[in-house]
Amino acid sequence: MTESSHPQHLSVEDFDPAASSLTGAVDPAVMAELLSIRSSIDNFDATLVYLLAERFKATQRVGILKAAHQLPAADPNREKAQIHRLRALAESANLDPAFAEKFLNFIISEVIHHHQAISQSHSAVAATGVVPVVSLDGQGFVAHADTDTDDGGTALK
């Protein structure tokens, strides 16, 4: 997608819920109903974003635990079980199971990517004593770890 289709600093306040190429071309009563339904969709989308953010916080903790114990980023048996479960949930919710599987596969792919980045970061710390503070969206910074603290812990500088 182009940069113009994804503005870098768009805030929630910049969103116009009434934006439509149909304005003026559709009966006002139809437009009002359309906007009402779209308002519900907008709320669902916001909920999805916040739920995904919470999910990725949890998977980041899993990635840290895996890295600390040299576990692989991917867990094919877990992924297979998740896909089976999500397909069944989708069927019971009258959602296309193939769509649900594609959606979960996309999420799993992102999680594995994040776990690999965490693992690489953990390996770098073990090898160098430098702790890269990684933001998985590329907005992070680097701090140095002092592994020789008085209490035997690690302090960021």
Of 13-27, 53-67, 125-139, which gets the smallest average pLDDT?
Answer: 125-139
**Tokens representing residue 36 in the block:** 């009402």
Q: What is the pTM of this model?
A: 0.70
Q: Residue 69: what residue type?
A: H
Give the pLDDT of residue 128: 73
Domain spans, the chain:
22-124
Residue 105: CB atoms within 10 A of its CB come to 14
Distance between CA atoms of residues 137 and 107, nearest Å? 15
Distance between CA atoms of residues 42 and 81, nearest Å? 31
Q: How far is CA 131 from CA 27, 121, 150, in A?
A: 60, 7, 18
% residues pLDDT > 70 (the chain): 76
Distance between CA atoms of residues 113 and 10, nearest Å? 26
Q: Quick one: pLDDT band at residue 12, thresholds 50, 70, 90?
A: confident
Q: From 1.20.59.10, 3.50.50.60, 3.40.605.10, 3.20.20.70, which CATH number describes the 22-124 domain?
A: 1.20.59.10
